[in-house]
């Protein structure tokens, strides 16, 4: 059984994927998010980025759909989503390819300078673009980076796994997808 604590975290991520707020995750959400992400930094849609993002998010969607859409209605419901992550939490070392891709993609979106680690400035800018208050984002970065000043790819993978698996309410990783 999935604990209420983990369920709440899975639903936090569910909401970030449910771009149109329809209460289910479907292909359209990914098409919308690729466009929004390509728009975020510049104000208008960067066509090259849009293409690249769309390609990646549709791969992620294909993986999610084939794993989680158990009633084959083309949508992933909150229950289907929670079951998927509960399965991951039981055995995180055998993550699916789409989960690895999603982790990598999340990292790349934050490492805007593309130098292999996320610094405070990159982190705060990205979270601000997602609607988080600047001071809260800076505070979250301090906790996630454990005062080290940057989050490497290895650190990020650890945080990412911990987010989906930990039952510890005090674990900094719980704040990874916190956008409110
Ligand atoms: Ca939706
Ligand atoms: Ca379904
Ligand atoms: Ca960087």
Q: What is the mean pLDDT of the chain?
A: 95
Q: Is residue 22 part of a domain?
A: yes
- pLDDT band at residue 124 using 50, 70 and 90 as cut-offs: very high
pLDDT digits (tens, 9 = 90+) for 30-86: 999 999 989 866 679 999 999 999 999 999 999 999 999 999 999 999 999 999 999
User: What value does the mean pLDDT take over residues 104-123?
Assistant: 97
Check pLDDT > 70 for residue 144. yes
Q: Is residue 83 part of a domain?
A: yes
Choose between 98 and 130: higher pLDDT: 98
Q: How far is the CA of 79 from the centre of ligand 2 (A)?
A: 9
Q: What pLDDT sits at residue 5? A: 97
Beta bridge partner(s), residue 78: none
| Number of the ligand closest to the Cα of 79 | 2
Q: What pLDDT sits at residue 108? A: 96
Q: What pLDDT sits at residue 180? A: 55
Q: Is residue 30 part of a domain?
A: yes
Q: Are strands 150-152 and 117-119 parallel, antiparallel or unpaired?
A: antiparallel
Q: How far is the CA of 134 from the centre of ligand 2 (A)?
A: 37
Q: What pLDDT sits at residue 42? A: 60
Q: How far is the CA of 81 from the centre of ligand 3 (A)?
A: 31
Q: Is residue 116 part of a domain?
A: yes
Q: How far is the CA of 156 from the centre of ligand 3 (A)?
A: 12
18 in Cβ contact with 24 (< 8 Å): yes
Instruction: State the DSSP string of 73-98.
Output: SS-B-HHHHHHHHHHHHH-GGG--HH
Q: How far is the CA of 115 from the centre of ligand 3 (A)?
A: 5
Q: How far is the CA of 101 from the centre of ligand 1 (A)?
A: 20
The pair of structure tokens assigned to 118 is 């996320």
| Number of the ligand closest to the Cα of 64 | 2
Q: What pLDDT sits at residue 1? A: 84
Q: Is residue 159 part of a domain?
A: yes
Q: Kindly report the CATH number assigned to the domain that includes residue 119.
A: 1.10.238.10
Q: What pLDDT sits at residue 179? A: 63
Q: Say what percent of the chain tops pLDDT 90.
A: 90
Domain that holds residue 92: 4-170
| Number of the ligand closest to the Cα of 74 | 2
DSSP three-state, residue 133: coil
Q: Is residue 180 part of a domain?
A: no
Report how many domains make up the chain: 1
Q: Is residue 114 part of a domain?
A: yes
Q: Is residue 175 part of a domain?
A: no
């Amino acid at each position: 059984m999935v604990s209420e604590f983990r369920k709440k975290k899975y639903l936090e991520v569910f909401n970030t994927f449910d771009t149109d707020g329809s209460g289910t995750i479907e292909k359209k959400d990914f098409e919308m998010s690729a466009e929004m992400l390509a728009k975020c930094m510049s104000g208008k849609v960067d066509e090259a980025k849009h293409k690249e993002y769309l390609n990646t998010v549709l791969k992620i969607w294909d993986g999610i759909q084939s794993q989680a859409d158990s009633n084959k209605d083309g949508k992933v419901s909150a229950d289907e989503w929670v079951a998927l992550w509960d399965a991951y939490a039981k055995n995180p070392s055998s993550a699916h390819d789409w989960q690895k891709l999603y982790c990598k993609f999340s990292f790349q979106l934050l490492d805007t300078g593309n130098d292999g680690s996320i610094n405070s400035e990159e982190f705060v800018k990205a979270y601000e673009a997602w609607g988080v208050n600047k001071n809260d984002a800076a505070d979250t970065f301090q906790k996630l980076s454990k005062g080290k000043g940057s989050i490497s790819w290895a650190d990020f993978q650890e945080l990412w796994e911990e987010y989906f698996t930990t039952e510890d309410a005090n674990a900094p990783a719980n704040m990874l997808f916190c956008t409110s």
